[in-house]
Every structure is written in C-alpha cells, then in structure tokens.
C-alpha cells in the first residue's frame, strides 16, 4: 500500500507564519513567489492578512485590507506584528506591520466584520466572456518566478504588446487561477487581486520601473460564497484612471464564473517613464 | 480706519491640532462638522492627514491615504499620533492613530511622495455637465450640521428620493464646494472625497443605519495643480458596485471644472437594511 502525502500548496508555504519562543510571528520569503526585486506584493499582502486571520482574538471575516509597500523585502525571514487595536461587537480593526532587522518593510490595516444577511444587489455587471477552457493559458518566460503560480487566460488586454512594443489601453479581462488549483480563501483572493500587471506597462508597451505603493482590497464575498466557489477560475478585470507625476492608480474586480463579485481592489503605483 | 481680521475657516478650526507640553498632538471636535453621531468622517480623515502634513519630518505630498473608522468619536478632545515609520528617498510611509481616553477611535496609513514630471494620461473621461452656476444649490434641513459646510449642486443622483421614499440608482454627479469658499488643498480634498452620501440611502430611498468602516483617497493632483484650482467648485461623481451581507463599497472621483482628475476615492460602508 502506498501512502500519498499531500505536499502543501506553494501559496501556503509562502504565507506560513510561525511563532517564535519570544512570541513574535515570523515568515520566510520563498523562491516560488519571487518578483523582480523581493517577493510578489500579493504574497506579502496575503501573509499580513493571514496574521490577522490566524490570530486567536480574531472575530469575523475580512471586509477591507490596505497594504502599503514601504520598502524592498529582502529574501529571507521577516517578522509580522498583528495588533487588533479595536474590537467592537461586529467589527474589528487591525494594524499590521512587517519588519526585517527592525526596519519596517510593509504597513497595513484591516477591518474584519461579522457578516449578516441584508438587502443585497450588485450594480456592476460581470463581463460576458468565453469559458476559460476555450482560451489558451498565457506562457511566461522563466525569469519571473511568481507568475508561474498563476494560470492567466487573457480574454483581452494581454501582455503581447510588451513583447512587440505596442502601446495599448489599460483594460484587461483575464481568467485567473492558482497553479496548482487551490480553493480561493480570503488570503488567496488577496493575492489574486494583485496579479494584474502594472497598467503603465500595457499603456507604454514596454517595461519601465514600477512598484505598488499602496493596495486596498474590499472583500464582497462571505466565507460561504468562497467555499462554494472552491478552486474554480476567477474572472478578473483591471484598468487605470490616471497616470501623472510618477504615480498611477489601477482598479480591479474579481468575479466567480457564475457572476458573483468576490472582491474589488485598488492600488497606487509608482512608475518612472 | 477699520482693521478687518479674517476669521479662520470652520474647516481649519475643525482640523487644527495643537501640541501639548508632553509633546502629544491634540484636536477638538467642532459643532460645525457634527454628523448624526460624532464628527463627519471627512473631517476626521482630513485631521489625520494634517497631522502628517504638518510634521517636521514630512517629505513630499500625499499620494494615498486610508482611514479606518474604528469607533465613535465623542464630542471633545482627541489625541493624534503621527508616526513616519519609513522614509525613503522619494516616498514616506505614515501610521496615524486617533484616540480618546487611550482608546483607538481611528486608524490610518498614508503614503507621501515626491512628485516629478513623467509621462501622463487620464483614461477616465470627465463628465460633461452644466456649469455650477446654472444649478441651484441643494437645501438641507438644519438638523445635520456638517452638510452646511458644503455647497452641493446636484447634476444628477441627488437626495430628493430620500424625502419622497423613491429608490434610485447609486450614481451621483455633483458640484461641490466648501462654504464659505476655501482653497482646495490636500486636507480639504480628503474631506470632499467623503461628502457623497452613503449610496445605500439613494438605492433604498430611505434612511438606514450606515457607517463608513474604511476609506481610501488617491491623490492624483500635485500641489501646483491644487494651487491653480484655488477655491473653484469641484465636480464629483460617485457610485457603488455591490451591497451584500451588511456592507457595500462606493467609489468617487473629484475633478476640476477644466477636467483635471484631482483625486479618486473608495470606501467600504457598514449598513443595516
């Protein structure tokens, strides 16, 4: 008889935090999610969210998360401080910090809330697109590690222009999925919200220096909706509003195949061009 | 000869912080900006931003600000802690906290940045609307104090449905201006971004319990653009994407009359309906 031991998903390895004997939380960057410099921001954001999610005093589920990328995260260990600074009956407010050698690399705040049934409506309309199976997954060069943890099937606004030098609009519609497939929980959803390439690259049709300075995720799905979604692909859309003075914004939405809005996300990005 | 002494603008009074002998920063709520319970959130957000703006170690101008409303602010004094946790060559990261009697009422983070000339483009198109002078300013009941500090000339998506009980869509276009007129600086812009009534009220055509839990402002304008804008009215648009499980989002844009995008803003709001 052969015993099959399930290997943990690379995402879970990358976002794991362990408590040291002094009580501090520590994580470790992994080569799997390396970006050009330091780890993929979505993994950093997901790791900070997990620090609150796994905290013994946590109440409710994530409602909003803002992560500010203060400095480069070096390969290796980092410390995370998760402070539930205010707990109300139905909401809880977190201040989250990541440090390396005592220097702040990332700041974040999160609001958790107890969800209850309420009047509901989605005003935004999900894009009507072809099934993911009918679109070939994007092939990526080996150089950039983190993208290989995601299957991206571009409906439009892909990255071909980066190879051909062709400027384009900033809008992208893409089917996204963890590789290998993994149930979409709040942490995975956070990382998925950061998988959209910086819009300025699409607009200019070339690689320029970029770095997200602040990213916010609003969680519209409750835990039941995520459990029902499982590991299906997520439909993502993203676009920018304005580029100026070395900064631009981009906003994104993440949908289930059935058209339920899981999350919306916004970020401000530094660029040099 | 009569000497005219200019009275400070109510906005400046409400957002003033003074340093106590112990070195702590203190503010005071003012009746002018009172909301249903506690002060108007936009004033709280602007006050926290001012704590960073006036800090002697500040570099650059605001790029992004996220404010989390953790609990009711009682009328009276409050303490503000403004901590520049990381200063880079061109960006600076702030953690901001407001407390009353040692209890956290508001958390915030901000990113400041040195703006430089860069490639620029605005993808979003400003709404084409009638001049503010051709639209009558909305009259408000005396009960709610803070709205009387703003002139609101609704192009569409006004609040008439709240009086008649008529549900409507969540989109609003409105000319906004401080009363009396005041130059739009980063602090005033922050407060203006929170002047859009909670979208769920428009959707339902009735007043229900609401409270913003988290608000983010992205500053697209640099200081020169704001100086050029002066105290002209600002054109604002707002709409929601999804209402569910007792929370909804709303996004807003603020434009100059000439069509320059000054700021974009997003918030998650608790509601009961």
Q: Name the residue among A71, A85, A123 with its Cβ closest to that of B70.
A: A85
Among chain B residues, the shortest Cα distance to A253 is held by B241
Between B141 and A264, where is the model more confident? A264
- Could you tell me which of B47, B113, B218, B257 has the C-alpha nearest to residue A216? B218
Q: Do A71 and B85 touch (CB under 8 A)?
A: no
Among chain A residues, the shortest Cα distance to B67 is held by A109
Q: What is the structure's pLDDT at B47?
A: 98
Any idea which fold A10-114+134-139+146-271 has? Porin (2.40.160)
pLDDT-above-90 percentage for chain B: 93
Q: What is the structure's pLDDT at B20?
A: 87
Mutate to test the interface with B, among A67, A220, A237 (most CBs of B within 10 A): A220
Give the tens place of pLDDT for each residue, B219-273: 999 999 999 999 999 999 999 999 999 999 999 999 999 999 999 999 999 999 9
Q: Name the residue among A71, A111, A213 with its Cβ closest to that of B213.
A: A111
- Judge whether residue A22 has pLDDT over 90: no
- Could you tell me which of A187, A228, A230 has the C-alpha nearest to residue A11? A187
- Could you tell me which of A146, A252, A245, A148 has the C-alpha nearest to residue A199? A252
Q: How far apart are CA A52 and CA A56, in angstroms?
A: 9
Q: Do A70 and B93 touch (CB under 8 A)?
A: yes
- Mean pLDDT to the nearest integer, A27-51: 97
Q: What is the structure's pLDDT at B21?
A: 84
Q: Do B242 and A123 touch (CB under 8 A)?
A: yes
Q: What is the structure's pLDDT at A17?
A: 98
Q: What is the structure's pLDDT at A24?
A: 87
Q: Please list, residue by residue across A47-71, b when 16 or more beta carbons sit within 10 angstroms of its beta carbon and e when fewer do.
A: bbbbbbbebeebebbbbbbbbbbbb
Q: Which residues contact A39 (CB under 8 A, 6 or more apart)?
A: A14, A29, A30, A33, A73, A146
Confidence of residue A20 (pLDDT cuts 50, 70, 90): confident
Both tokens assigned to B138 = 């909305």
Q: What is the structure's pLDDT at B7?
A: 87
Q: Do A64 and B68 touch (CB under 8 A)?
A: yes
Q: Do A169 and B123 touch (CB under 8 A)?
A: yes
Q: What is the structure's pLDDT at A2?
A: 65
Q: Do A109 and B271 touch (CB under 8 A)?
A: no
Give the tens place of pLDDT for each residue, A116-154: 999 999 999 999 999 999 999 999 988 899 999 999 999
Q: Which residues contact A262 (CB under 8 A, 6 or more apart)?
A: A184, A189, A219, A220, A221, A225, A226, A229, A234, A254, A255, A256
A204 three-class SS: helix
Q: Do B203 and A115 touch (CB under 8 A)?
A: no
Place of tokens 């709610």: B144
Q: What is the structure's pLDDT at B95?
A: 98
What are the extents of the domains in chain A? 10-114+134-139+146-271
- What integer best gives the mean pLDDT of chain A? 96
Q: How far apart are the first and last CA of chain A?
A: 60
Any idea which fold B10-114+132-271 has? Porin (2.40.160)
Mutate to test the interface with A, among B119, B237, B252 (most CBs of A within 10 A): B119
Q: Report the complex ipTM.
A: 0.97
CB A198 within 8 A of CB A247: no
> Which parts of chain B sit beneath pLDDT 70?
1-3
Mutate to test the interface with B, among A69, A86, A96 (most CBs of B within 10 A): A86
């Amino acid at each position: 008889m052969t015993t099959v031991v399930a290997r943990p998903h690379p995402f879970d390895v990358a976002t794991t935090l362990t408590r040291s004997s002094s009580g501090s939380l520590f994580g470790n960057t992994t080569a799997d999610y390396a970006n050009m410099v330091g780890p993929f921001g979505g993994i950093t954001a997901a790791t900070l969210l997990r620090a609150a999610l796994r905290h013994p005093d946590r109440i409710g589920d994530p409602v909003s998360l803002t992560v500010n990328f203060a400095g480069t995260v070096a390969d290796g260990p980092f410390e995370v401080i998760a402070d539930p600074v205010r707990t109300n009956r139905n909401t809880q407010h977190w201040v989250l910090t990541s440090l390396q050698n005592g220097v702040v690399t990332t700041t974040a705040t999160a609001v958790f809330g107890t969800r209850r049934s309420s009047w509901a409506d989605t005003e935004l309309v999900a894009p009507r697109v072809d099934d993911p199976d009918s679109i070939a997954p994007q092939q990526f060069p080996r150089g950039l590690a983190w993208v290989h943890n995601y299957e991206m099937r571009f409906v439009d606004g892909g990255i071909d222009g980066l190879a051909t030098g062709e400027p384009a609009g900033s809008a992208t519609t893409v089917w996204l999925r963890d590789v290998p497939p993994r149930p979409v929980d709040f942490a995975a959803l956070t990382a998925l919200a950061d998988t959209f390439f910086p819009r300025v690259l699409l607009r200019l049709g070339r690689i320029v220096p970029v770095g997200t300075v602040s990213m916010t995720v609003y969680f519209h799905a409750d835990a039941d909706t995520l459990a029902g979604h499982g590991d299906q692909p997520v439909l993502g859309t993203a676009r920018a509003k304005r580029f100026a003075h070395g900064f631009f914004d981009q906003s994104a939405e993440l949908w289930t195949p059935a058209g339920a809005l899981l999350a919306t996300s916004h970020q401000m990005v530094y660029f040099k061009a």
